[in-house]
Amino acid sequence: MLNKQPDQQIHDELIKRSEALGLPSYPFLPDEGTPYPFMVVAYTHIVPQSTKSYLIGTLSAQVDVWGKAEDRKLVSDWIGKLMREFSTIKQIGNTSWSMDLTSPTEIIKDNSTQELLYHGILDLKFKFH
């Protein structure tokens, strides 16, 4: 079995941990009609720093939580739960991880669908080695 690259490691781990908490999670926006709330891993971005023996660096990941207009508190609660859970990621395979605890979050109103939604955004920053 091939080892996963750091971006795939964190992508899969974020989805796995969200699912374990009970929040349905997807690698992309699900089909219309999917019940809210849910989480999507929007992107990952690696800034590598090569060494002679292995890859180290930083990784940014955006995680989105989507909820109905009447569920703003629920979206906020999920952001808090996910931030706490993601901050405990320390090891994935042979890679060590640490989350920057100053990673920002925001909640915005979204009217890109026929119903008003709340869109929670977690802008996660990690170091890996």
Q: In terms of pTM, does the model score above 0.85?
A: yes
Tell me the pLDDT of the chain (129 aa) as tens digits.
Answer: 468 999 999 999 999 999 999 999 999 999 989 999 999 999 999 998 978 877 899 999 999 999 999 999 999 999 999 999 999 999 999 999 999 999 999 999 999 888 899 999 999 999 999
Phi, psi of 26 (to 5 degrees): -140, 155
Report whether CATH 3.30.2000 matches the domain 6-28+44-128: yes
Residue at token pair 């800034």: 47
| pLDDT of the residue at 1 | 47
| CA-CA-CA-CA dihedral for 65, 70, 71, 76, to nearest 10 | 80
